[in-house]
Every structure is written in structure tokens, then in C-alpha cells.
Amino acid sequence: MTLRSIFGEGGFSDSEIDRLVYSRDAGDLEGEAMAVVWPKDVKQLHALVGYAKRQDYNLVIRGAGTSLQGGCVPVKSIIVDMSKMNKVLEIGDDFIVVQAGAVLDELNHRLGDKIIPIKPFNHAVCTIGGMVAMNCRGMDVSKGRIGDYVMGVDVVDGTGKYMKLKNPTAKNFVGLEGTTGIIAHVKLKLVSKKEYRSFSIYNFNTLSSMMEKVEKFRGKEEIKSILFFDDLASAMLGFEEKNHIVVEFLGDKGVIKDVKEIERILSFKEVLYHKLRKSRFGQIEDPKIDSDKMAGFLYWLRKKSVPVYGHLCLGVVHPCFKEFSKLPTEMHELVETIKCENASDFGYGFKRKSFLKGEKKVKHKILKEQYDPKDLLNRGKVHE
Ligand SMILES: Cc1cc2nc3c(=O)[nH]c(=O)nc-3n(C[C@H](O)[C@H](O)[C@H](O)COP(=O)(O)OP(=O)(O)OC[C@H]3O[C@@H](n4cnc5c(N)ncnc54)[C@H](O)[C@@H]3O)c2cc1C
């Protein structure tokens, strides 16, 4: 049996151009692809893992390839492009079952008054499989992560076993960056588009006055999220050059209640992201900082003139650095020193595996040994 015979004409390529195109993802690392396959169903996935085991090949799974940390970068690997497994298998009143290569926006356009509420910036292209593998968080942070909506997954693991899993076992494939199994199908909970919330925007001349206000809001039941833009990020968004917070209230306590205006507010981060990239602030980080250390951390960034936005209830902030700057390394050292997390949202991939620590590292090792003991899937990623 060969890859060509498993996947047929149009389902397999080892051409130079395809191998080159698939040698990198949205990040800056580059690897070497041996071939690319486009599976259409679970039968082909199962045959592929059997083939890789026998021939001692490793497999790199790919959705839309928007991973920023080298999650889809091959190491003399066969690329498994999931884009042809993009069908909707079932739609119920409050759930949907899809193949993993289905694209988020295309699904939400089909769904009418229900939606999948996690919407990352790359919503127009990212796949459900990629989102689940990364346990993606969207722009609307009070909605949680995609893993909160996963009801079940069908997977082929690194031993070639096909499993139809419900929670809690399904979670062994959520946020594991494709290192435990190839997600073939996903069952997701849907939610109503109707909302009962409102927003208020506040601005501050100093970081300390802003943090005082944030402390007053923190822990209150009606506060769903606090989005923050420092003065540099605010200016890029076209606001006054001051620190801003956008506070989300459950119910109607906030000033802004109009649905269209709320949509505009929720798009601030997406607008900012594109402006930052245009101004060459291409390196966006995602540290998670304890609340008692946040003020000091933000002062440090401001002293270095690093624009930053983030979520003050979650403690997740996004400092934005100029490409090729050495400051991110300085920041990583600072975050280590103050005993906070360096990677909370954008995964570990190749680039950031030294950031995986403690309980998370132990859990990953156990799951890897259970589902992919020969390290066939996404080799060299996440763990050291
Ligand atoms: C412009 C831009 C904006 C982004 N915005 C956000 C954001 O707002 N929030 C956020 O959390 N992240 C964001 N990201 C990071 C990342 O793109 C997302 O996590 C996204 O969900 C990945 O989807 P994808 O289909 O491109 O997956 P890919 O990049 O193709 O894959 C991501 C990882 O998942 C694995 N994988 C893919 N499909 C499967 C599968 N079927 N089974 C098993 N493993 C699989 C891959 O091997 C890889 O390790 C952004 C990236 C870019 C470039």
C-alpha cells in the first residue's frame, strides 16, 4: 500500500511546490514536508496512521494553517490537510456535528438564530478542528473557550485506534494541539444569538487610576469582562491617547445597549490587530499575569513603549512588539521572575514548548504516552 493508493488522484501530492507551500504556517518557522495528503473520511485517516506506523513516518495535522507557534510546521513529515473533511453531519436544536475541516464562519452563516460563539480574529478561515486542538479563545472573552462547547469528538489516535468520545474523555483532545490524535468530527453545543448585556467605556490619564477603578469592579457578579487598551493602543484605535477600559455588564447597567454598537465594540480588537500588524508590531504575546502583579507589569511595558491590550478579569494581556525586537525575550524573563504564565492563549507549538510547565506538562506527558506512544503525531511540538 502507498499513500497514492490510499488517497487516490487529487488526494496526495509530493510535488516540490506543495512541499514548499506546506513547509510553514502563519508563524515564522520553516520545516520540511515530505508529502501532503487530503483525507476525505475516517477510513483514510485510519489507513494513513497505519501506513505511517509501518513506514516510521510522522504526521503533521493542518486545518487552515493559521497557527502562530509552528504548530503546523513539518519535521520531514507528511502533512494531513483536513480541508476536504468540511461537511456538516448533523444539526440539532442546540448542537451541530461537523467534520473537523469545516470553517467557522461558513458554519455560523448557516446557523440562523443559533451560533458557535467563539470567534477568533481569523474567523473567516480557521477550522473547527484547529480551534478545538488549540482550545481557542475568541474576541468575546466572556464566552469562554471552544472547549466549553465541545460535547464530543471522534478521533484517530497515534496508535491508529478510532474512538467516538464524549466528555470527559473528549477533553483529552481539546487544547492538546493535535499531539494526541487526529480530530475527525466534533459535536458542539450551540447558543442563542440573543444577548442580555450592555457595555460602558471609561478612560484614564494614568495606569494607577485605571487599576483603582478595575479593583472596584473586580469580583462583582454583574461584571462579565473588562477589556483594556493602553494609551498607545487607544491612539491606534482612533481614541484619545489615554488608557481605556471597556466594561461588559450582565443586564442593562452599562451605557451601551444597542446591538450594532455592541458589535462595533467587540470588533475593536480585530481592528487594532490589523493596525498593529500594518505598523510592524507583528509579534503579539499572551502572558497571564496575577492580579496583584498586573499594575507593575503594565508599567514595565509602558516604560518600554510597548502597546498592549488585554482582559483584566482573566489577567490575559497582549503586549505587541515590533518584529525582530529583543524585548519579548526580556518580557518572558520578567514573567518567569514574577512566577506568572508566558503562554495562555496562542499555544506552545514548536516555538514555546519551554513555557509548558508544572501540572500541565505532567498531564500532557501522560496523555501523549497513552494515545501516541510512538510520537507519530505533531512530533516535537508542545513537549520538550
Ligand atoms: C490572524 C490570526 C488571528 C488569530 N486569532 C486568534 C484568536 O483570536 N484566539 C486564539 O485563540 N487564537 C488565534 N489565532 C491562533 C490560531 O490561528 C487559532 O488558534 C486557530 O483556531 C487555528 O485554526 P486553524 O484551522 O488555522 O488551525 P491550524 O493552524 O491549521 O492548526 C492549529 C493546531 O491544531 C492542530 N490541528 C489542526 N486541525 C486538527 C485536527 N483536525 N485534529 C488535531 N489537530 C489539529 C495543528 O496540528 C496545529 O497544531 C490567530 C492566528 C492568526 C494568524
Q: Specify if 309 maps to a domain.
A: yes
pTM for the full model?
0.94
- Predicted confidence at residue 156, as pLDDT, reads 98
- CB distance 272 to ligand 1 below 6 Å: no
CATH number at residue 169: 3.30.465.10
- CB distance 21 to ligand 1 below 6 Å: no
Q: Report the atom number in ligand 1 closest to the C-alpha of 85.
A: 41
- Cross-strand partners of 36: 13, 79
pLDDT-derived band of residue 27, with 50, 70 and 90 as boundaries?
confident
Q: Specify if 156 maps to a domain.
A: yes
Q: Report how far residue 343's alpha carbon sits from residue 286's, in angstroms, rounded to the nearest whole number.
A: 6
Going by C-alpha positions, the residue among 341, 345, 247, 325 that lies closest to residue 280 is 325
Q: What are phi and psi of 160, to 5 degrees?
A: 95, 0
Average pLDDT of the residues in 330-355: 93
Q: Do 303 and 285 share a structural domain?
A: yes
CA of 346 to the centre of ligand 1 (A): 8
- CB distance 177 to ligand 1 below 6 Å: yes
Q: Specify if 139 maps to a domain.
A: yes
- CB distance 105 to ligand 1 below 6 Å: no
Mutate to test the pocket of ligand 1, among 24, 29, 42, 126 (most ligand atoms within 8 A of CB): 126
Give one DSSP letter per residue of 350-380, joined into a string.
TTTGGG--HHHHHHHHHHHHHH-TT--BSTT
Q: Do 333 and 206 share a structural domain?
A: yes
- CB distance 103 to ligand 1 below 6 Å: no
For a pLDDT cut of 90, what percent of the chain falls above it? 86
CA of 63 to the centre of ligand 1 (A): 7
Q: Do 217 and 148 share a structural domain?
A: no
- CB distance 72 to ligand 1 below 6 Å: yes
Q: Do 271 and 166 share a structural domain?
A: no
Average pLDDT of the residues in 201-221: 94
- Predicted confidence at residue 382, as pLDDT, reads 83
**Which of residues 175, 193, 211 is at a domain's end?**
193
Average pLDDT of the residues in 246-275: 93
Question: What's the domain range around 120?
Answer: 85-193
- CB distance 137 to ligand 1 below 6 Å: yes
- Taking CA atoms only, the protein residue closest to ligand 1 atom 37 is 130
The reply to whether omega before 168 is within 30° of 0 (cis) is yes
Q: Do 288 and 213 share a structural domain?
A: yes
Q: Report the atom number in ligand 1 closest to the C-alpha of 127.
A: 25
**In whole angstroms, how far apart are CA 194 and each of 189, 199, 204?**
15, 15, 32
- Predicted confidence at residue 323, as pLDDT, reads 85
pLDDT-derived band of residue 384, with 50, 70 and 90 as boundaries?
low
Average pLDDT of the residues in 315-337: 95
- For the chain, give the mean pLDDT: 95
pLDDT of 106-148, one tens digit each? 999 999 899 999 999 899 999 999 999 999 999 889 999 999 9
Q: Report how far residue 209's alpha carbon sits from residue 243's, in angstroms, rounded to the nearest whole number.
A: 9
Q: Do 211 and 161 share a structural domain?
A: no
- CB distance 74 to ligand 1 below 6 Å: no
Average pLDDT of the residues in 287-291: 96
129 in Cβ contact with 101 (< 8 Å): yes
- CB distance 73 to ligand 1 below 6 Å: no
Number of domains forming the structure of the chain = 2
Q: Report the atom number in ligand 1 closest to the C-alpha of 178.
A: 44
186 in Cβ contact with 173 (< 8 Å): no
Average pLDDT of the residues in 10-35: 94
CA of 170 to the centre of ligand 1 (A): 18
Q: Do 202 and 182 share a structural domain?
A: no
pLDDT-derived band of residue 1, with 50, 70 and 90 as boundaries?
confident
Q: Do 122 and 173 share a structural domain?
A: yes
- Predicted confidence at residue 111, as pLDDT, reads 92
- CB distance 297 to ligand 1 below 6 Å: no
- Predicted confidence at residue 28, as pLDDT, reads 84
237 in Cβ contact with 245 (< 8 Å): no
Q: Do 271 and 161 share a structural domain?
A: no
Q: Is the pLDDT of residue 364 over 90?
A: yes
Q: Do 158 and 283 share a structural domain?
A: no
**The residue count for the chain:** 384
**Which of residues 176, 193, 210 is at a domain's end?**
193
Amino acid letter for position 320: C
Average pLDDT of the residues in 71-99: 97
- CB distance 111 to ligand 1 below 6 Å: no
Give the three-class secondary structure for 273.
helix
Average pLDDT of the residues in 34-48: 97
203 in Cβ contact with 278 (< 8 Å): no
